[in-house]
C-alpha cells in the first residue's frame, strides 16, 4: 500500500481530469474539485501539457504554456493558472497526480502533438516543473498513453523523470502512465525513479482482466505497489475489435463496469484505483470545444454519475480491510475461480477475514480448508457496493469440502467473512 511520509496509509482513489488545466474555466475547475472531494476521492490525475492540442490551442483564459515551442520558454500566465488549480485541490485534501506532458509530445504515433522533447530539453523541463511544484502535494506521472517504442523514447522519459527528481528529491512519488492494455512494468519497472506501477486496462471491451494484470505486476521483482490508472470509463463507448481496428460498439460503460473494475483490481492487491468519466477527462464544453469520441453529455453535467458517487463505499471498505492487516489476493478460496469473464469473482484475504466480490447473483463456493476462520460460517455480512449498506450473510449450504453462499438479491455484491462474531465492525461508512 502507499503511505504518507509519517507512515499513515493512503488509499489512492483518483479521478481522471486530463484536460483540467486546458479546457476548464477557473470556476468549473473549482466546482469540479469541490465535487470530487465531497465524493471521497483522494487524487486527481491531470496533464500539464494537454493532449487536445494543448501546445497550440490556448486555455480558457487565452494562454499557451510556452512562448515558443523552439525554446520552451514558459508563459507565466498559463502556469499561474495551473498553480491556482493545484493549490485549490491541495486545500481540499486532494493530491494532484501531474503528468508533465501527454505522450504525443514525445512519441507522436497518433494525436495532435507536436513532438517537442528530446533528452536534453526534457531534463530541463522536468527540473523546472519539479521546482515549481516541489512544495505542493503532488505525485508525478511520467508517460502519457504511449508505448515506449524506441531507446530514444526511454531516454526522453528517463531524462524528464530524473529532471523532476533533481528538483523534488524524495518529497514526491513517481509512476508512469502506459497505453491501453499495458503496464508501466513493461517498460520502466527497473528505473530507480519509479516508486509504483500503473497499468491501463482500458476501454476495449467489458471485463478486462485488470485483476490478472495487478497480480502479474505484483509478481515482478523488486516488488512495487501497482494500481489500475485507466480502467473502463463511465459513459465511455465500449470499444470493439473490427477488421483489426477498435470501433465503437454502440454501447457505453456504466456504473456496474466501474464497480467491477474497482473490486477486481483492489481485491487482487492494488494500492488504489482510478475512476474516469468520458466527458470529464476531456472537459467537454459544447461552447468551447468539439467532443472526443461521442460523450453523452457535457463535463459539468457529468459530475454526479452513479459510479463516481458509489466508489466512496468501495474506498471505505478497502481502507477498513487494509487497516486490518492489508489485502492479499486469494483466488484459492474459490471452488471455481476460472469462470467466464462476465461471471469472474475476485477473492482476497485480510487479517482475520476474507472477502469475495461477485459481479452477479451466483453461487459462491468457498473451499473449507482455505477459510482458516473459526467462525467462518456464522460471521458473514453482505456488503452492497451501490449503497455501502451491509446485512447478515448465512451459508446456504455446507458440506465437508465447501461452504456455499448466495447473494441476497440480483446485482453485484461483496461477501465479507471475519473470525469475529462482531463482523459488522468491518464497515465504516
Q: Which of 109-118, 327-336, 408-417 shows the lowest mean pLDDT across its residues? A: 327-336
Same domain? 28 vs 119:
yes
My answer on whether 306 and 400 are in the same domain is no
236-241, Cβ contacts within 8 angstroms, sequence gap of 24 or more: 236/203, 236/276, 236/277, 236/278, 236/293, 237/203, 237/278, 237/293, 237/294, 238/203, 238/205, 238/206, 239/203, 239/204, 239/205, 240/204, 240/205, 241/204, 241/205
Residue 107 lies in a domain: yes
Locus of grid cell 517498460: 187
Per-residue pLDDT tens for 143-166?
999 999 889 999 999 999 999 999
Going from the C-alpha of 31 to that of each of 25, 37, 121, 304, 363, the distances in angstroms are 10, 10, 35, 12, 43
Let me know if residue 237 belongs to a domain: yes
Q: Does 320 reside within a domain?
A: no
Residues 191 and 273 in one domain: yes
Residue 31 DSSP label: H
- The closest alpha carbon to 413, from 397, 377, 378, 389, belongs to 389
**Is residue 324 a part of any domain in this protein?**
no
- Name the helix (H) or strand (E) containing 74: strand 73-74
Q: Cα separation of 220 and 159, whole Å? A: 24
* 63 and 172 belong to one structural domain: yes
Same domain for 109 and 143, yes or no, is yes
Decide which of 261, 282, 315 is a domain's last residue.
315
Number of domains comprising the chain: 2
> Which residues neighbour 219 within 8 Å (Cβ) at sequence distance 6 or greater?
none
pLDDT digits (tens, 9 = 90+) for 365-416: 999 877 765 444 557 999 999 999 999 998 988 888 889 999 999 999 999 9
Beta-strand ranges (E) seen in 106-257 are 138-143, 174-177, 182-183, 197-200, 226-228, 237-242, 245-252
Are 162 and 290 within one domain?
Answer: yes
Distance separating the N- and C-terminal Cα atoms of the chain: 21
**How many CA atoms within 13 Å lie on the side-chain side of 47?**
28
Considering 283, 315, 347, which residue would you say is the last residue of a domain?
315
Do residues 182 and 74 share a domain? yes
CB 253 within 8 A of CB 294: no
Q: What is the per-residue pLDDT across 162-211, written as a single tens digit (0 to 9) for each?
A: 999 999 999 999 999 999 999 999 999 999 999 999 999 999 989 999 99
What CATH number should be reported for the domain holding residue 135?
A: 3.20.20.80
Q: In this predicted structure, what is the pLDDT of residue 239?
A: 85
Of 287, 315, 343, which residue sits at a domain end?
315
Report the SS3 class of residue 261.
helix
CA distances in angstroms from 295 to 58, 197, 237, listed in the order given: 22, 29, 8
Same domain, 52 and 114: yes
Count of Cβ atoms closer than 10 Å to residue 303 Cβ: 20
Q: Are 401 and 371 in contact (CB under 8 A)?
A: no
Has residue 222 got a pLDDT over 80? yes
| Same domain membership, residue 258 and residue 182 | yes
53 and 144 fall within a common domain: yes
Query: What residue numbers bound the domain in which 391 lies?
Result: 330-426
What are the tens digits of pLDDT across the range 231-257? 999 999 998 865 555 566 789 999 999
d(CA 273, CA 257): 13
What's the mean per-residue pLDDT of the chain?
Answer: 93
In a domain, residue 346? The reply is yes
**Residue 355, SS3?**
strand
Q: What is the rounded distance in angstroms from the CA atom of residue 395 to the CA atom of residue 198?
A: 37
Q: Is the dihedral of CA 293, 299, 301, 307 positive or negative?
A: positive
In this structure, is residue 322 part of a structural domain? no
Same domain, 418 and 291: no
Domain containing 401 — which CATH number? 2.60.40.1180
The CA-atom distances, in angstroms, between 209 and each of 104, 330, 345, 368 are 26, 16, 11, 27
Indicate if 148 and 184 belong to the same structural domain: yes
Is residue 46 one of the residues assigned to a domain?
yes
Q: How far apart are CA 108 and CA 104, in angstroms?
A: 4
Q: Is residue 325 part of a domain?
A: no
Residues facing 356 on adjacent strands:
347, 415
Amino acid at each position: 500500500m502507499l503511505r504518507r511520509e509519517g507512515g499513515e496509509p493512503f488509499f489512492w482513489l483518483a479521478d481522471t481530469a486530463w484536460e483540467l488545466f486546458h479546457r476548464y474555466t477557473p470556476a468549473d475547475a473549482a466546482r469540479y474539485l469541490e465535487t470530487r472531494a465531497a465524493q471521497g476521492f483522494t487524487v486527481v490525475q491531470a496533464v500539464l501539457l494537454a493532449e487536445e492540442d494543448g501546445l497550440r490551442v490556448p486555455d480558457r483564459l487565452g494562454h499557451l504554456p510556452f512562448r515558443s515551442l523552439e525554446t520552451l520558454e514558459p508563459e507565466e500566465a498559463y502556469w499561474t493558472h495551473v498553480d491556482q488549480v493545484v493549490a485549490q485541490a491541495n486545500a481540499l485534501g486532494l493530491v494532484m497526480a501531474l503528468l508533465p506532458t501527454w505522450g504525443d509530445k514525445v512519441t507522436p504515433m497518433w494525436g495532435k502533438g507536436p513532438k517537442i522533447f528530446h533528452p536534453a530539453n526534457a531534463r530541463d523541463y522536468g527540473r523546472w516543473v519539479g521546482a515549481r511544484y516541489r512544495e505542493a502535494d503532488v505525485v508525478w506521472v511520467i508517460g502519457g498513453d504511449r508505448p515506449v517504442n524506441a531507446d530514444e523514447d526511454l531516454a526522453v522519459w528517463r531524462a524528464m523523470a530524473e529532471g523532476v527528481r533533481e528538483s523534488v528529491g524524495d518529497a514526491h512519488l513517481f509512476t508512469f502512465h502506459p497505453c491501453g492494455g499495458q503496464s508501466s512494468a513493461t517498460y520502466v519497472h527497473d528505473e530507480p525513479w519509479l516508486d509504483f506501477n500503473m497499468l491501463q486496462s482500458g476501454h476495449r471491451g467489458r471485463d478486462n482482466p485488470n485483476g490478472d494484470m495487478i497480480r502479474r505486476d505484483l509478481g515482478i521483482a523488486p516488488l512495487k505497489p501497482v494500481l489500475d490508472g485507466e480502467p473502463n470509463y463511465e459513459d465511455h463507448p465500449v470499444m470493439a475489435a473490427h477488421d483489426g481496428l477498435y470501433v465503437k460498439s454502440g454501447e457505453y460503460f456504466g456504473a456496474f463496469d466501474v464497480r467491477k473494475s474497482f473490486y477486481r483490481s483492489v481485491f487482487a492487491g492494488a494500492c488504489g484505483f482510478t475512476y474516469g468519466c468520458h466527458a470529464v477527462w476531456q472537459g467537454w464544453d459544447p461552447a468551447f470545444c468539439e467532443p472526443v469520441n461521442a460523450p453523452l453529455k457535457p463535463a459539468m453535467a457529468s459530475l454526479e454519475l452513479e459510479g463516481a458517487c458509489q466508489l466512496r463505499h468501495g474506498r471505505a471498505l478497502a481502507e477498513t480491510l487494509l487497516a486490518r492487516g492489508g489485502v492479499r489476493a486469494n483466488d484459492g478460496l474459490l471452488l471455481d475461480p476460472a469462470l467466464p469473464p462476465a461471471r469472474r469473482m475476485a477473492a482476497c484475504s485480510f487479517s482475520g477475514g476474507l472477502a469475495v466480490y461477485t459481479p452477479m447473483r451466483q453461487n459462491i463456493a468457498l473451499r473449507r480448508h482455505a477459510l482458516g476462520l473459526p467462525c467462518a460460517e456464522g460471521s458473514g455480512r453482505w456488503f452492497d457496493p451501490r449503497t455501502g449498506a451491509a446485512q447478515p450473510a448465512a451459508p446456504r449450504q455446507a458440506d465437508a469440502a465447501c461452504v456455499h453462499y448466495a447473494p441476497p438479491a440480483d446485482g453485484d455484491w461483496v461477501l465479507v467473512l471475519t473470525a469475529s462474531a462482531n463482523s459488522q465492525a468491518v464497515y465504516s461508512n
